[in-house]
Structure 1
Amino acid sequence: MPENPEPVTLLLSIIAAFIAGFAKTGISGVGILAVPLMASVFPGKASTGVLLPMLVMADLMAITVYRRRADWKILMRVFPFAAAGIIIGTFFMMKINNATLKPIIGVMVLLVLLLNIIIKIFRLEFNFHNIIFSGLIGILAGFTTMTANAAGPLMAIYFLSLGYSKDTFVRTQAWYFFVMNLFKIPFSAGLGLISISSLLFNLSLLPVIAAGFFFGYKFIKILPQNIFSVIIIALSFIAALRLIIF
């Protein structure tokens, strides 16, 4: 982690930190934009380690506000499978280099975006109450979150498929990502992706993360959701495409 980041690196990190906080207010799909932003200014593996502590800080804010009435029955069902996916993702990260991981992150982001678009266009519905489907989605989400911090839209689809109210959705999602992101920290540290210098950099961005969370919590209801979603998808698509091409 450089002691004096380049202006572009600092700017994109600030934007990613704001998005990390904003996304934890329950706006599904927003957080995906932070992934290609960080991967565009840091090496592929390092980008996941720099982003993870930002997400944990945002998660802490989320569970402070949304600490009650999460669906723990579903969470306890999916946690073991997600943990298995994280372990698989860790072994994958051990075998791959930065040059290869960047386009893979880009492809993962594009696939998740494509899945979201297909589901919205065709109004597809899934029944993930079955333990087999819960297991598959858990493993896939665990692998995706470990290798790219990009499981947000996938888990949003899963939780929405369970018929949650908006309140239960936000609360359950908050606890899921808090527990899973904490679980990822020792694995990321073991891979050398988190260091004292990177943590200090993360702490310097805490006010930005808090500002993003505050903005999302206070003002998200007045934003046109459809227009906002289109903007996020478009920006994420461009950023992911950049990772693949360049």
Structure 2
Amino acid sequence: MITDPLFYAAAVPAVVLMGLAKGGFSGLGLLSLPLMALVVSPVQSAAIMLPILIVQDVVTVWAYRRSWDRRNIAILLPSAVVGIVSGYLLAARVSDAAVTLAVGIVSIAFAVRRLILERRKTLPSPAKADVPRGLFWGGVIGFTSMIAHAGGPPFQIYVMPQRLPRDVFVGTGAVFFALNNWIKVPPYIALGQFTAENLATAAALFPVAVASTWAGVLLVRRVSGDRFYTLVYALLVLVGAKLAVDGARALL
């Protein structure tokens, strides 16, 4: 287990942010890995974070066990599996930076457009969970999740136009990413990232992970449905900007 106090000075806030994201404040979790990467390598950060994500998934799935959309899961999951496998096979050939930049630009464009329409009160009728778009975005989610740990924004781009009730939106994301994270376990094992040190370090952070996720669930339920969507769109703009800047810097 890692014993350096400096590591935990970065890891604890990172896990708290991920817990709030898992609780419903989508997007905050993308700040976690960069924080941890200040003190350990990005690869080790991801390896430590995955078991923590799985523990946090248990909390959110339990909290929203009666509020999730089965049709969305059924549409997204098959192509997400294909995306994860593709990401694993192409990891050495695909630039993380290019993927990150592309996801960032698309996220900003989508969120800004939706915020403008919302401000003008001209939002189109809620979209349906259709198969062609779902299969496309499911593949994108799986691929970006495996390559650049950025599956959240593509998920939001597909699901948010459906204007699901707040709890159903959060619950659908909770169930989907819980399944998604378990599917990523074999590739991580194959890449040799689950060392005894990484697993023990993750276990030491489990209490913080559980407490912060419950805090996220409780805080989200205090936000009204309409304000929740506006907040998530705004967070998506910020997250998209961060991804775009990170990707551009790495490319340059």
> How does the TM-score come out when normalised to structure 2?
0.79
Alpha-carbon separation, structure 2, partners of 1:191 and 1:54: 18
Q: 1:139-171, CA deviations, whole angstroms, 9 ceiling, x for partnerless residues?
A: 000001112222112212322222311121122
Superimposed CA distance per residue, residues 68-119 of structure 1 (whole angstroms, 9 cap, x where no aligned partner): 24222221121110000000111122446xxx64x45753663365245433
Q: Map 1:20-39; keep pairs closer than 5 Å.
A: 20-39=18-37
**Counterparts of 1:63 and 1:170, CA distance in 2:** 9
Q: 1:222 to 1:135 in 2, by over 3 A?
A: closer
**For the structure 1 residues 31 and 17, does the alpha-carbon distance in structure 2 shift closer, same or farther, using more than 3 Å as the test?**
same
Query: Percent same amino acid among aligned pairs?
Result: 25
Counterpart of 1:110 in structure 2 is 104
The secondary structure found in structure 1 opposite 2:47 is: helix
Q: CA 1:95–1:242 in 2, change beyond 3 Å: closer, same or farther?
A: closer
Q: Distance in 1 between matches of 2:39 and 2:98?
A: 16
Aligned mate of 1:120, from 97, 114, 117 = 114
User: Cα distance, 1:217 vs. partner?
Assistant: 2.2
Partner in structure 2 of residue 79 of structure 1: 77
Quickly say closer, same or farther: Cα 1:188–1:20, change in 2 above 3 A.
same
Gaps of at least 5 residues in structure 1 are: none
Distance 1:211 1:32, change over 3 A: same
- Structure 1 window deviating more from structure 2 (83-92 vs 161-170): it is 161-170
Alpha-carbon distance between aligned partners in 2 of 1:18 and 1:240, rounded to the nearest angstrom? 24
The aligned counterpart of 2:46 is 48
Aligned Cα root-mean-square deviation (Å):
3.2
Structure 2's unaligned 5+ residue stretches are 118-122
**2:23 and 2:217 in contact (8 A); partners too:** yes
Structure 1 distance, partners of 2:36, 2:9, is: 10
TM-score (norm. length: structure 1): 0.81
For residues 66 and 231 of structure 2, the distance between their equivalents in structure 1, rounded to whole angstroms, comes to 31
The equivalent residue for 1:157 is 157
1:30–1:232 contact (8 Å) kept in structure 2: no
Amino acid at match of 1:24: K
| Contact 1:19 1:209 survives alignment (8 Å) | no
Q: Relative to 1, partners in 2 of residues 1:132 and 1:236: Cα closer, same or farther, differing over 3 Å? A: closer
Aligned to 1:132: 132
